[in-house]
A and B are shown apart, each in its own frame.
Chain A
Amino acid sequence: LTVVANTGTSHPIGSRLEVRRLADGTAFVEIRGMRPSEVLLLVNHP
């Protein structure tokens, strides 16, 4: 997923987060270090 908006600094706009999976196929992205009240927006088709 591509970051298209971020009010903080955890994931810069334009950066991409890899889609990860559990053994059962569950898909997720790992988001870390969001500042208090930070807003982040990601899309799969930027």
Chain B
Amino acid sequence: MPSPFATEALGREVPVALRPDVSLPRRQRFHPSPADWRDEVLYFLLVDRFSDAKEDSRPLLDRRNRAAVRPNGHDGQSWRWDRWAESGAFRWQGGTLKGVKSKLDYLSGLGITTIWLSPVFKQRGHLDTFHGYGIQNFLDVEPRFGTRRDLVDLVDAAHQKGIRIILDIIFNHSGFNWVYPNGEKTPRFKHHPERFEFGSWLGRQGEQIGATIRAADEGVWPRELQDPDSYTRAGFGNLGAGSLDDPNAEHKRTDFFTLRDFDLDCAEVLANIAECFKYWIALSDCDGFRIDTLKHVSFENGRNFCGTIKEFATNIGKANFLLVGEVAGGDFAQDRFLSVLGRNLDAALDIGDMRPTLQNVAKGLVPADAYFSGFDPGRAQMGSHRNVGQRHVSILDDHDHVTGVKIRFSAEASTEEQVVAAVAIQLFSLGIPCIYYGTEQSFAGPEESERRYLPGYKGGDHADRYLREAMFGPLHPKRSGLDGLPEDRASRDSTVPGFGPFGTAGAHCFDRDFPPYRHIAALAAVRKRFPVLRQGRQYLRQISNFGAPFAFGGAGEVVAWSRILNDEEALCVVNAHGREARGGNVLIDAGLNPPGAH
């Protein structure tokens, strides 16, 4: 049941100001946190690309006959890959919060216990920021996704099915809500303490409207964020330049392209943004935050923001509200943030080298030790944190691939079984596993023979589009900008195909009979049954073949590791060879397994 706070808030208009419009609750009943996030299996989805709740109106994709769902264009021309690719990079596809709600049984059946939603907050209507990272109103839901009530309903329904919800938040920057003087979008970066003058807020259609915001679609909201001094105004610089320890480093002060950097050192700015996100905790009853671009704020601001969120959540009964940070830059940066922020930050996403390394181990391209040594406190930068398990979220694929080539694991997997093997390593090794939407359907994009027609494939501009297929298979995307805002047939652009899975349009891919879905579901069920698989210590195991001494296997050999908890040992074994059978004698704990035991 939604809280009294949510019921009351939904009965009123969206707040235009934090004060006096928002009065956060105390002593109300909210959904409690899990005791240990290692018990959870996360599922990350892009709201725009997951479901529109209308899959019944479209067929399930027949993977053997994809040509049947590559329709001719409106002008009679045959299917065009450039149009499909354009759709994926630049158009909203039409996924909604109601769509996510309609798939809770699908996700529950897969063994998912927590859904990580891409940002749901209101974007600029004239821009096609379907990813959600360019917020215009920090207190409203993006209308293309639905309403605040839809979000509350989704979280409530999920909780009733034993599924938690994590929201994706951004406190480093706002959307592209204003321009610099003379209409400049990305002027060259100015080092601390220099800054640019403020230019103009942007209006509903992206036009310059000067210094005054008059309407809900103009500038930024709530009102407390409308002071130009709330923004760093340093222009656009190098997102990797400068030291992590320098609070005024270029990578911390720069805009994120056109997304405007907040000046979190300015009095009240951090507190105001934190207040916005506390509002979402109380309103939605969500269970955690994934924090975007955490590397781009100073340690002090990161610690203060996370600390105040943690305290608020704890005070309303969410004693273990998850805060997981996106810290780009690899293990060193992840480790530094976890160390400095301490208990205020629960975990970091493993988006550095561990993600492609996990892929390469599962594909038999590198020895298992390349991945498992990442847990070794004596050998790896992140070992002291990753080793504990609850301080890292393992990733096989995501929407960015900050490190590595921007194609899904499945795109170059030998078989569907190899996808299952990779997820198995996630599920049974230390950490909080996170499955990216579509992995269970082996999303791979178009056939290899067709990929040469795809602009920017494996590199180039907007290459990340190929990580973001629309699982629900729309026939057409929404029209660009404001024309796509109404929720009706007229908002669809019939001149462009939808960005459906496997290079199709008009067929969805929610197939509960697909073998990887069934296998992952079975493995997740076993993980749920045995605490040792979630919280046990971890040891990579040596293997012996044909009487040779026990040794750690090479690339493409059997990968074996044990999890040990109290007197229980679970032995996990994966044949990392993609084409040949494998086996061997696998070492186990002699003390826990007496002679003759079975």
A residues neighboring B (CB under 8 Å): 1-2, 4-5, 7-8, 10, 16-21, 25-45
Contact = CB atoms under 8 A, between A and B. Distances in A.
A40 B529 CA distance: 16
Contact of A31 (B550, B580, B584, B589): B584
Contacts of B414: 36-37
Of the listed residues A5, A19, A40, the one surrounded by the most CB atoms of chain B closer than 10 A to its CB is A5
B587 A39 contact: no
A18 B588 CA distance: 12
B583 A37 contact: no
Nearest to B420: A7
Contacts of B293: none
B519 A7 contact: yes
A19 B593 contact: yes
Nearest to B595: A21
Contacts of B532: 43
A22 B550 CA distance: 11
B68 interface: no
Interface residues of B, number: 51
Interface of B: 362, 414-415, 417-418, 420-421, 424, 428, 519, 522-523, 526, 529-530, 532-533, 544, 550, 558, 567-590, 592-598
Contacts of A39: 420-421, 424, 519, 523, 572-574
B575 A38 contact: yes
Given A7-B519, A30-B585, A31-B586, A37 B415 contact: yes
Given A36-B417, A37-B574, A45-B568, A28 B581 contact: no
Given A5-B523, A7-B420, A33 B583 contact: yes
Given A1-B571, A19-B598, A34 B558 contact: yes
B581 A16 contact: no
A20 B585 CA distance: 9
Of the listed residues A4, A10, A39, the one surrounded by the most CB atoms of chain B closer than 10 A to its CB is A39
Nearest to B583: A32
B417 A37 contact: yes
A5 B574 CA distance: 11
Nearest to B516: A7
Given A34-B558, A36-B415, A44-B568, A28 B598 contact: no
A29 B581 contact: no
Nearest to A38: B575
26 contacts: A1-B588, A7-B522, A8-B417, A10-B583, A16-B598, A19-B593, A27-B587, A27-B588, A30-B583, A31-B558, A31-B573, A33-B581, A34-B581, A34-B583, A35-B575, A36-B577, A37-B417, A37-B421, A37-B575, A37-B576, A39-B424, A41-B523, A41-B526, A43-B530, A43-B568, A43-B571
Contacts of B575: 34-38
A38 B414 CA distance: 13
Contacts of B526: 4-5, 41
A35 B418 CA distance: 11
Given A18-B596, A27-B590, A28-B588, A41 B572 contact: yes
